[in-house]
Amino acid sequence: QLMGASGAGTSDYEIEQSLRLNIDTPKWIKRTPSSDSNRKTWTLSMWHKRGAVGRNLTEILFKGGGSGGSGIIAMHLTNSSYAAEDKIWLSFDGATGANPVTNRVFRDPSGWMHIVLRFDTTQSTVTDRARLYINGELIISTDYTFLWSTSWAGITQNSDWNVNKSGIEHSFGAHQTNQPLDGYLADIAFVDGQSLGPDSFGETGDYGEWKPIDVSGLTFGTNGYHLDFADSSALGNDANGSNNFTTVGIAATDQMLDSPTNNFCTLNPLDKTSVMALSEGNLKSVSSGNGKLCGTMLIPSSGKWLFEYLVTAGGGADVGLAKADILLTSRTQEGANVIDTRDNNTSVFVEGTAHASEWASTYGINVVVQMQVDMDAGTILYKTGTDSTSAISFTSAEDWVVWTENNSDTVVFNFGQDSSFAGNKTPQGNQDANDI
């Protein structure tokens, strides 16, 4: 099974795909309404999975026409120049308006979060005019700190804003090349003319988790839209009607299987050394020196699991598994706490022991390598194309995570969500037992 796909089919409602955005080569989607609609009242719902954290100021949403003032609304993930890293900043009219920043941080790269921005300037209570919900929970007005201004007063009652204004661009993921977002967006629903709570878009599951529901029955309004990213040849299509978005820099290979109802493993920006830079939704790792990095999910304790990787530059990338309870600094090449192979070495190292005969030749640059892990049999196997090594025993009773140690290498991973390796290969269309 693929790393993360085993949960497929367990939810009442399935979101089958998402859109991946990339901080290193900015990509975004945009639309400019041709007519005015309700500029006082609307609701935005979206699902987002974090990519690289603690980096540049990144933009989730931008609805405006310039850099401040004149009814512009933006939603950002902050960096240290504006607030502590990885908080959500809602910018209403730039420095001249209301600029609430959450006191909470949002830096979990392993899970999806649901964001609802509920805007209604007809409300008599000023703090009810812009309400943010995360995973069904309202961020109350006292849980913000303000940049520049000190209150919500910049959102005046019955005021019109640039959202739903003719000729004003709406975008997700960036505004032009500024402040690009890294990570994933899924099931974006924009309802024009209604103020809706999060229960119009999600519900609490049997285990207390917040999960999506089918939004196709909503009345979206004149400038409303539903972006489900179902068509890889037209990822800006409006599933509700004809309010389609234009894609910028986005390819068919940016459609991902990673979704709020089928969450895949990625690399973990919270468990890496500083010389490792992540992009492509935490599937691409570039090291500027000798660095270490782990994945976001434990290998499940039973069953057969696999992932793939592709070294696109360098020549000394170690990739494999590491014991989860060992500090990152204690995970070393050929050490007792790791399982790994190297693209310029003919041996596989399993918990400190070299297995030269099981690795027939160096795999080199741009060769897809698959690692198969059988937790029940306690064996691992590396495979390249039709050539495979012999299975090697390891201590499967331990908790293991995906691990890599690179020295000026570039490695792209596929845990099942992207067999194109960020556009470096032709997708193969292979599936697991769940048809994922």
Cβ of 391: how many Cβ atoms within 10 Å?
15
Q: What is the pLDDT of residues 238-248, one digit of tens each?
A: 999 999 999 99
Residue 120 near residue 44, CB atoms below 8 Å: no
Mean pLDDT in residue range 322-337 = 79
Mean pLDDT in residue range 72-101 = 88
Taking the model in full, what pTM does it have? 0.93
Q: What confidence category does residue 84 fall into, taking pLDDT thresholds of 50, 70 and 90?
A: confident
Beta strands of 51-158 (E only): which ranges? 58-63, 73-77, 88-92, 100-102, 112-120, 130-134, 137-138, 144-146
Highest mean pLDDT among 115-129, 166-180, 306-320: 115-129
The first and second tokens of residue 108, run together, are 């979990």
For residue 152, the one-letter residue type is W
**CA-CA distance, 226 to 210, in Å (whole number)?**
20
Q: Which residue has the tokens 């939704």?
A: 281
Q: What is the pLDDT of residues 38-49, one digit of tens each?
A: 999 999 999 999
Identify the weakest region by mean pLDDT among 27-36, 238-247, 363-372. Answer: 363-372
Residue 8, pLDDT above cutoff 50: no
Mean pLDDT in residue range 85-97 = 87
Residue 74, pLDDT above cutoff 70: yes
pLDDT confidence of residue 4: 60
Residue 283, pLDDT above cutoff 60: yes
Kind of pairing between the strands at 246-248 and 28-31: antiparallel
β-pair partners for 373: 305, 380
